[in-house]
Amino acid sequence: MTTHTILKNAPRLAAVSFGVAMAMGSISASAAQYNAKLSLDVPEGNTKYKAAQEFADLVRERTDDNVDIKLFPNSVLGGETESAEGIRLGSVQMGVITSSVLSSWVPEVQVLDLPYVITDEANATALSEPLTEALSSSFEDQGFHLLGFTVNGVRELMSSFPIHSIDDIQGKKMRVIQSPLHVDAWREAGANPTPVPAPEIYNSMQTGVIDFFDNTATNYLTNRFYEVAPYYVKTDHIYAMGTWVVAENWWKRLPENYQQAITKAALEVQSHVPEMRQKDDEEALKKTVADGATIIDIEDKTPWMEAMAPVRDKYIDQIPNGSELVELIRNAK
């Protein structure tokens, strides 16, 4: 090969060399003894994503790079139901899944969706340890290893009209998640509940199919809901809980010291989540207010609690060990 040919091909050769180096680096980076895919339904930057990244980093560090957890945000591995199915089947190893999604397999978690059962942020944080202990075997029977619970956010009302009391929602069309419990709760409150899939909320508000809905502060910003629902109403009716689950068949293959490292890392990160999420929620709401949203704080929630009480009583009787689990939640401090 002439000097001219070598010089002519130098850029291509350099690119090939760089690609080989990158590939070798990728092989080296993925040479962990145990690899896991962690599915998330949120984008990068969301509190749940940041917590999961901190968790993955801690696990990698504390297992000397022998357990490598890779994050897959934005539902790229499927929605939460598909991700839960994947965890049960072993195609996905981990997830932070909204508790209501898991009720198909572990009906006991429906207690977390009962309106006004969780009283405040401290109660929501404290319930993780006793509830994890109480439900671990039920999760295991369905193919999940349970690592704990954290608050994804507080479900608040987002509306096209101002809401100052429960009287303001009478007969209004409310989007609810596709759950009999949520339908019943808002029917008791006097609204006209309309199940609508999450991706259709914005358009349904825009076209008048629904008048209001409930969701969390970070979603109010990231999904630009404030554009079609300029009133954000703090009713604090449900704390949306994220359930940290691992594929049981993958978990059983881990050495005990790696299981302990993962458990400790999860507990450590979960203890940081409330502060992280509250900060992110405050920043999200500030941005929506700057773009024209109005925040309404419902100070007297008694009428809302009383209206939904029959639904709580009905579902407590239907949920396995419902009374005991509700008592456990209320006593968690």
For every residue of 279-293, DSSP letters joined together read HHHHHHHHHHHHTT-
Task: Tell me whether strands 173-176 and 212-215 are parallel, antiparallel or unpaired.
Answer: parallel
Name the pLDDT band for 22 (thresholds 50, 70, 90).
very low
pLDDT tens profile 96-139: 999 999 999 999 999 999 999 999 999 999 999 999 999 999 99
Looking at residue 199, its pLDDT comes to: 84
Q: Phi, psi at residue 332, to the nearest 5°?
A: -75, 120
Mean pLDDT along residues 171-186: 94
Pull the structure tokens for residue 315: 């579902």
Looking at residue 24, its pLDDT comes to: 37
Looking at residue 8, its pLDDT comes to: 43
Residue 294's closest CA among 163, 118, 107, 102? 163
- Determine the length of the chain: 333
> How many Cα atoms within 13 Å fall on the side-chain side of residue 291?
18
CA distance 47 to 321: 32
pLDDT tens profile 200-245: 999 999 999 999 999 999 999 989 999 999 999 999 999 999 999 9
Name the pLDDT band for 79 (thresholds 50, 70, 90).
confident
* Confidence check: pLDDT of 26 > 50: no
Looking at residue 254, its pLDDT comes to: 98
Mean pLDDT along residues 246-262: 98
Among 18-27, 139-148, 262-271, name the one with the lowest average pLDDT.
18-27
Mean pLDDT along residues 308-328: 96
* Sign of the CA dihedral running 271, 322, 305, 215: positive
Looking at residue 30, its pLDDT comes to: 53
Mean pLDDT along residues 282-287: 96
Identify the DSSP state of 1: -
pTM, 2 dp: 0.86
Question: Which residue type sits at 133?
Answer: E
Name the pLDDT band for 85 (thresholds 50, 70, 90).
very high
Mean pLDDT along residues 80-109: 95
Q: Phi, psi at residue 150, to the nearest 5°?
A: -140, 160
Q: What is the share, in percent, of the chain residues with pLDDT greater than 90? A: 84
φ/ψ region of 194 (left if φ > 0, alpha if ψ in -120 to 50, else beta) reads beta
